[in-house]
Chain A
Amino acid sequence: MGRFAVPLALLAAWWAATASGWIKSYQLASPRDVVRELADLAQSGLLWRDLGASVERVALGFAIALAVALVLGSLVGGSRVAERALDPTLQGIRAVPSLAWVPLILLWLGIGETAKITLVAIGAFFPIYVALVSGIHGVDRKLVEVGTIFGLSRIALIVRVLVPATLPQLLVGARIGLTQAWLFLVAAELLAATNGLGFLLTDGQQTSRTDEILVAILLFAACGKLSESGMRWLERRLVGWTDTVPA
């Protein structure tokens, strides 16, 4: 009960403030309007179009980020030569607040899907990459030694010791990366989009429809929460063996 008290109080305050006319509907739509707008959008099919477009961009961008981070992270984590060659550059790029790349990406890739997915991928890439490299560097040398004693080949050592030992860190990085993916999706869709949840935001702003804006915000919250819960479920399933307090 205790965990619902504050949200319910907020909802009640929201309802009271809008129903009494103290706050005008062009400033903040009432809970009722928001629910009605949500139902309208669902009925017209626009909801699924926008939700689908956003989820697709996040999924594609995240998948690309994961693939590139796995390759580069394994290289940098596993080889000193690759680390010296690549890591300073990647750390330099990481130091740039990623949204600063937006103008350049728009100039290069236009305002189409490619630009949006690229931006999402940039946002998701660094948390995964950093977590993977530090995961590989942090593998218990004593466990690697056990593999060596039993005469494991390099491939067997990677598959049977290094990969499972790195997995917890990688999953944490992936969870943060997915959160970042949603963040960058909003940025990408706010800039230029004809569909997606971010488009719902700008459309609501331009038409002074606060109910539409709030629907978009609620949907973002739901998507973020769902992906976070999904990643945590994956962590519990795959790396429940870790002897640490869950983050």
Chain B
Amino acid sequence: MKSQRHGASGESPAARIRGLRKAYGTNLVFDGIDLDVARGERVAILGASGCGKSTLLRCIAGLELADAGTVVTAGEIGLIFQEPRLFPWLDVRRNVAFPARNDDERARVDNVLALVGLAHAAQRLPKELSGGMAQRAALARALVRDPHLLLLDEPFAALDALRRIELRAAVREILEFTRASAILVTHDVDDALALADRVVVLAGSPAEIAFTGVVGETATRGAILDALGVLSSEPGHSARARTAS
């Protein structure tokens, strides 16, 4: 089977993944991944670096072709990478307007700029932005088409600790405001707990879903760290641990 996507509406989930398999040559990254993301639900996929979580996201986004299985997504997808990937020759406004296909979407440019807090920097070139501002611009660009599903691939990894907390709060607000569904790929337990309704841990080789739990219920820090195979000195609470990268 090949990956497919169509703009289904109504009660269908934001994303439905069934039996997904991806290999590079003889290296099987994952096989038989099943995952549903409900409308408005925010799912974090946690795993150590190189476990295949980014590949999984790229398959969902359609950037990689899965070897088997299906991906069905409803409506528009917005994708945010670890790096902002802004076009250096366009100012912030033109970068954000880049995906706009019609007057409706062009009219949204100023709204999303304000939403990410960049209305004052609309005329700046990417080289004149800090890392956090550039990532906000990338976020605004991903929002211009009013996506039903946001895919975030380690969006805070390139930022320092303070910017990371700031941007995380901004993303949280935006997700709540737009009510978009989201899949967040991260190796940071704090990111997952701060942003997601549900946490999925990817582990092993080939990768499997080793754990899935709802934040505030079964997805506690201790349980997540256990699933990641991290030895926590204070299991269950307050361990400032991140998975090794």
Contacts and interface: CB of A to CB of B under 8 A. Distances in A.
B85 to A, nearest CB: 5
B89 A164 contact: yes
Interface string A157-178: 0001100110100000000000
A203 B210 CA distance: 87
A243 B81 contact: no
A142 B81 contact: yes
Nearest to A145: B63
B85 A143 contact: yes
B229 interface: no
Contacts of B79: 149
B89 A241 contact: yes
Nearest to A163: B89
Nearest to A149: B79
Interface string B70-104: 00000001010101010111100000001100000
A150 interface: yes
Nearest to B151: A149
Contacts of B145: 150
A143 B95 CA distance: 12
Contact of B87 (A143, A145, A242): A143
Nearest to B61: A149
Nearest to A148: B63
Given A148-B63, A149-B79, A242 B85 contact: no
A137 B112 CA distance: 34
Contact of A243 (B61, B83, B88, B98): B88
B127 interface: yes
A190 interface: no
Taking chain B's interface residues, is the majority helix, strand, or loop, or is none over half, making it mixed?
loop
B193 interface: no
Interface string A228-243: 0000000000010111
Interface residues of B, number: 18
Contact of A241 (B63, B81, B85, B88): B88
A161 B87 contact: yes
Contacts of B89: 164-165, 167, 239, 241
A142 B98 CA distance: 15
A86 interface: no
A72 to B, nearest CB: 24
A167 B88 CA distance: 12
Nearest to B88: A241
B116 to A, nearest CB: 17
A145 B58 CA distance: 11
Contacts of A222: none
A239 B89 CA distance: 7
A144 to B, nearest CB: 10
Interface in B119-141: 125-127
A241 B127 contact: yes
B98 A150 contact: yes
Contacts of A160: 98
A67 interface: no
A225 B145 CA distance: 49
B152 to A, nearest CB: 13
A150 B99 CA distance: 6
A142 B83 contact: yes
Which of A143, A146, A148, A161 has most chain B Cβ within 10 Å?
Answer: A146
15 contacts: A142-B81, A142-B83, A142-B85, A143-B85, A148-B63, A149-B61, A149-B79, A150-B98, A150-B99, A161-B87, A164-B89, A165-B87, A241-B125, A243-B126, A243-B127
Interface of B: 61-63, 77, 79, 81, 83, 85, 87-90, 98-99, 125-127, 145
